[in-house]
Amino acid sequence: MLDDATRVCAALVDQDSLETVFCDLQEVQEDGFFDLAVRFPGELLGRYYYGVISGDGGAEGAAPFEIIIEPLPDSVPVPVAIIDPPSEPAVDFGETRPLIGSKSVSRRSEELSYQWVQVSGPPAPLAQSYAADTEFTVEFGPGIERVAFQLTVFDGKKWSLPAQVNFLMPDTFAVSRMGVANEICNGADDCPDADDPPVISFSSSVLTGWVELINAQQGDELKLRIVDPRARLVDSSELTVTNEPPSVSFFQFGWSMGDAALQAGEWAALFERNGRVEATLAFRVEP
């Protein structure tokens, strides 16, 4: 029994959409037991979560487990793709994680062929798409919430149903590029490649710069701060995110010293998101 519930339902939940396919309501007996007899419709094939949900008090689902609904058996059994669960479910840009599928099963005692594919998230190239065990590295790119891969195995006669593994991306924000120059550019591809560190000339008292962000969201507080060689704040600009949903955002900014000559030496540009410095850039101002 769940929280003294008098009714429970046996729920079938789609693994990809997390939507409830059906919920069969059952009465709980006085001794706390209940019986469930579930018939799965023939059109439901694939991997699902199956578990019990309390009917009283809005209790959470209990004892969910994974089930595979397969076609009716014939003379050739179907292999089963199995992926080891990740030891760490959260992943971020630039990280490399393993994918383990070598525990997949062939019911015909034959050697298996493997095929991995990415089904969601920012680009995450696989080291080997056709190996039992492989790894992936998450690249900078639009995408939120998760990175997901599916594995399908082939035993020479039949393909398995796909198995899926999900890696969460709790915060996929990143500064992919930042620079300064004496000239205006309207996109990251048009901006000149910066030296290390960038060098700005005295030819203009107006300096321009840019920043390209990945997955900034509406509601983020974004600021750019410019600091001169004496560690004085010269300019502070607030940037506004307009993209929906989160993706690549490009901001071009500029500041002017008016009639004053730019002070020679080491300058710095600081980019802040929600009060936290996410990226810094040092550059020189020279005659």
Residue with tokens 């793709």: 81
Contacts of 72 (CB under 8 A, 6+ apart): none
Distance CA 64, CA 268 (A): 53
Report pLDDT digits (tens) over 210-262.
888 888 888 889 998 888 888 888 778 888 888 777 788 888 877 776 666 67
Contacts of 275 (CB under 8 A, 6+ apart): 221
3-state secondary structure of 175: strand
Strand partners for 236: 225
Distance CA 50, CA 67 (A): 7
Same fold, 96-169 and 174-286: yes
Report pLDDT digits (tens) over 191-205.
766 556 678 776 666
| C-alpha closest to that of 91 among 128, 132, 124 | 124
What are the contacts of 31-37 at 24+ separation with CB within 8 A? 32/1, 34/8, 36/10
Are the C-beta atoms of residues 112 and 154 closer than 8 Å to each other? yes
Residue 112 has what pLDDT?
Answer: 93
* Confidence check: pLDDT of 153 > 80: yes
Report pLDDT digits (tens) over 50-102.
887 765 554 455 667 888 887 666 656 789 999 999 999 999 998 999 999 99
Task: Give 114 or 24, the one with higher predicted confidence.
Answer: 114
CATH 2.60.40.10 fits 96-169, yes or no: yes
Distance CA 52, CA 20 (A): 12
- Name the average pLDDT for the chain: 82
Domain limits, the chain = 7-69, 96-169, 174-286
Q: Dihedral of the CA atoms 273, 275, 278, 283 (nearest 10)?
A: 100
CATH of 174-286, one of 3.40.50.1370, 3.30.70.1520, 3.40.50.300, 2.60.40.1930: 2.60.40.1930
Residue 111 has what pLDDT?
Answer: 86
Pairing relation of β-strands 222-227 and 276-286?
A: unpaired
Residue 149 has what pLDDT?
Answer: 96
Domain made up of 7-69: CATH architecture:
Sandwich (2.60)
Please give the average per-residue pLDDT across 155-162, as a whole number. Answer: 88
Residue with tokens 């076609």: 71
Residue 110 has what pLDDT?
Answer: 73
Structure tokens at 26: 């059952």
Distance CA 202, CA 32 (A): 83
